[in-house]
């Protein structure tokens, strides 16, 4: 089993590159953003609660997200591995994930961190706003999401760095160029399926 965290600020390309990685390496994709948006659109109690945070560009409380991830991992016991997109986003989430994986006799093998300048992040998300239908793709909330990333999420990279699991990837080239760089790192662990 090979488990990967695709890491980076809002708009850095985690979702886009996750699709490419899934097609090539057949990993199971878990995106907490997608899971939360699904709960919001179905207006479940969890979704109603989560929306209050998401619309303000704030992180949803750890216990909510950790519970969702735990059941998602259990759904695919025979996965070749997982790609975590948008999770973990706090040190508490990282520690919880490590425990969950340890319980399944596995671990995080690699964190790939997408490096994209802030002006480019904003440009991409504003460009997407017209078509995404995402209530958090507007200038005011984008600014808060990036701020929240620096305050709470960036330390997750340091957490995995202490175990030598982090590779930083230039993420401001084309989608194809970035995927080539990501694929090269993944192939050190896993061949395309």
Q: By CB under 6 A, which span of 39-47, 83-91, 100-108, 156-164 interacts with ligand AP5?
A: 83-91
Q: Is 124 flagged in the annotation as binding?
A: no
Q: What is the pattern of x (binds ligand AP5, CB under 6 A) and - over residues 136-155?
A: x--------x----------
Q: Which of 51, 72, 124, 145 is catalytic?
A: 145
14 is an active site residue: yes
Of the residues 86, 101, 186, 190, which one makes contact with ligand AP5 according to CB under 6 A: 86
Q: Does the footprint of ligand AP5 cover residue 156 (CB under 6 A)?
A: no
**Distance from C-alpha of 11 to C-alpha of 126, rounded to nearest angstrom:** 10
Q: What is the pattern of x (binds ligand AP5, CB under 6 A) and - over residues 60-79?
A: x----x--------------
- Shorter beta-carbon distance to ligand AP5: residue 45 or 164: 45
Q: Does the footprint of ligand AP5 cover residue 87 (CB under 6 A)?
A: yes
Q: Is 88 flagged in the annotation as binding?
A: yes
Residues 94-123 that bind ligand AP5 (CB under 6 A): none
The answer to whether 107 and 3 are in contact (CB under 8 A) is: yes
By C-alpha distance, which of 156, 187, 29 is closest to 90? Answer: 156
Q: What φ, ψ does residue 188 adopt, rounded to 5°?
A: -70, -20
> What residues are labeled active site?
14, 89, 128, 134, 145
Q: Pick out the residues of the known binding site for AMP.
A: 32, 37, 58-60, 86-89, 93, 134, 145
């Amino acid at each position: 089993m090979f488990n990967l965290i695709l890491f980076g600020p809002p708009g850095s390309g985690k979702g886009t590159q996750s699709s490419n990685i899934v097609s090539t390496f057949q990993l199971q994709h878990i995106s907490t953003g997608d899971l939360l948006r699904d709960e919001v659109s179905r207006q479940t109690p969890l979704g109603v609660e989560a929306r209050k945070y998401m619309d303000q560009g704030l992180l949803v409380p750890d216990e909510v997200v950790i519970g969702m991830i735990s059941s998602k991992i259990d759904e695919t016991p025979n996965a070749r591995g997982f790609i975590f997109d948008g999770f973990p986003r706090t040190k508490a989430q990282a520690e919880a994930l490590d425990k969950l994986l340890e319980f399944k006799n596995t671990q995080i093998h690699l964190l790939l961190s997408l490096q994209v300048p802030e002006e480019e992040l904003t440009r991409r998300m504003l460009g997407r706003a017209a078509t995404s239908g995402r209530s958090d793709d507007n200038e005011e909330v984008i600014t808060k999401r990036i701020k929240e990333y620096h305050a709470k999420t960036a330390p997750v990279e340091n957490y995995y760095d202490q175990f030598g699991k982090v590779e930083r990837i230039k993420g401001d080239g084309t989608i194809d160029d970035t995927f080539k760089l990501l694929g090269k790192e993944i192939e050190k662990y896993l061949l395309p399926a």
